[in-house]
Amino acid sequence: MKERLKVLKTYKQFIGGEFPRSESGRTYVLLDPRQRPIANVCLSSRKDFREAVVRARAAFDGWSARSGYLRGQILYRLAELVEDRRELFIRELRQQGATVAAARRETEQTIDLLIHYAGWGDKYPQLFSTVNPVASPHFVFSVPEPVGVVALIAPQGGALLGLVSALGPILIGGNACVAIASEKQPLSSITFAEVCAAGDVPPGVVAILTGHRRELLPHVAGHMDVDAVVYGGDDREEWKTIQSEASRNVKRAIRPAADSRTLYRIMDTQEVKTIWHPVGF
């Protein structure tokens, strides 16, 4: 019997809850470790990034206003869906060069990390809020609030876990995030976007772009309506470019410490707001 012709998947960007191709029409060929083509991947442009920021900004108010409990449930849902697609993620990680054991481990760690962050939703504000014992007759308290629209430069290695370990704290904290996926291993990131689309993450809250990191980086760090940029890479020149361009709008340029605890990772993309009110009759 003749073998059935397989349907190949087209990997596209994730912007505003949709999966468009790059407006530029550009793609690059992703090769496996043996230099065989795996897929055509979008070369996201500056304009794609701008569009993603517009959609993220529009989504931010609603997402940040949802309760931590609800955001926690949505992250939990993402964990459920990754668990459901476990074999798919393992296969893709293997395509991109991981061993079976490493691919399985990375997928399982990703699921567990999503569960971990899901649980933080209604807890981190308690640990970072204060009632301030001021000397005057005022009731004064300080609470964390999400910084806003966060651009994430995902690490090159760790196609799935690298992305999710950076995205988890940004999302659970109520931020909207535009992520630039690993240039070398973008497949799992795009498949994770499908998980976001299916998992009740409101459209625009997560965007995932693919392409040449060096090309996009100055635009990402210099964009005037991005509040923070999280850098998951380890290149000194790239980091310098990010910090320098971030100065345009006093953007927070964040490079999470490798050994940072997850609570402090959440706080990396939080502001602190203090509210005063007089006390008296």
Partner 1 sequence: MSTTTTAKPAELPPWAYAPAPESTDPGIRARYDLFVNGEFVPAANGGYRTLVDPASERPLCEVAEGGAADIDRAVKAARRAYANVWSRMPALERGKYVFRIARLLQERAREFAVAESRNGGKPIRESRDTDVPLACAHFFHYAGWADKLDVAFPGMRARPLGVCGQVIPWNFPLLMAAWKLAPALVTGNTCVLKTAETTPVTALKLAEILQTAGLPPGVVNIVPGGRETGRALVEHRGVDKIAFTGSTAVGKWIMKALAGTGRKYTLELGGKAANIVFEDAAIDQAVEGIVNAIFFNQGHVCCAGSRLLVQESVAATLIQKLRRRMGSLIVGDPLDKNTDVGAINSKEQLEKIEKYLAIGVDEGAELWQSDGALPAKGYYCRPTLFTNVSQSHRIAQEEIFGPVLAIQTFRTAEEAVAKANNTPYGLSGGVWTDKGAKIHKVARQIRAGVIWANTFNKFDPSSPFGGYKESGMGREGGWHGLMPYVQLETA
Show the CA angle centred on residue 246, arms to residues 24 and 16, nearest 5°.
Answer: 40
Of residues 9 and 248, the one with the C-beta less far from partner 1:
248
Q: How far is the CB of 145 from partner 1 (least distance, A)?
A: 8
Phi-psi label, residue 89: left if phi above 0, alpha if psi -120 to 50, beta otherwise: alpha
Q: Which of 47, 132, 200, 234 binds partner 1 (CB under 8 A)?
A: 132
SS3 label, residue 66: coil
Are 108 and 89 a contacting pair, CB within 8 Å? Answer: no
Distance, in Å, from the CA atom of 120 to the CA atom of 164, rounded to the nearest integer, reads 15
Q: What is the spatial distance between Cα 44 and Cα 24, in angstroms, rounded to a whole number? A: 7
Query: Could you give the CA distance from residue 77 to residue 165 in angstroms, rounded to a whole number?
Result: 16
Residue (19 or 264) nearer to partner 1, CB? 264
Task: Indicate the residue among 39 and 176 with the shorter CB distance to partner 1.
Answer: 176
> Which residues between 228 and 247 bind partner 1 (CB under 8 A)?
236-237, 239-244, 246-247
- Give how many residues touch partner 1 by CB under 8 A: 42
Q: Quick count: other Cβ atoms within 10 Å of Cβ 69?
A: 9
Q: Does the protein bind partner 1 through residue 57 (CB under 8 A)? A: no
Task: Decide if residue 126 touches partner 1 (CB under 8 A).
Answer: no
143: number of Cβ within 10 Å: 15
Euclidean distance between CA atoms 112 and 86, whole angstroms: 12
Q: CB of residue 191 vs partner 1: minimum separation in angstroms?
A: 32
Q: Of 51 and 227, which CB lies nearer to partner 1 in the complex structure?
A: 227
Q: Which of 134, 184, 200, 215 binds partner 1 (CB under 8 A)?
A: 134
From the CB of 235, what's the least distance to partner 1, in Å? 11
Which tokens go with 118?
């899901």
Q: Does 10 bind partner 1 (CB under 8 A)?
A: no
- Contacting positions for partner 1 (CB under 8 A): 127, 130, 132-136, 138, 140, 142, 145, 147-148, 227, 236-237, 239-244, 246-250, 252, 257, 259-261, 263-264, 271-278
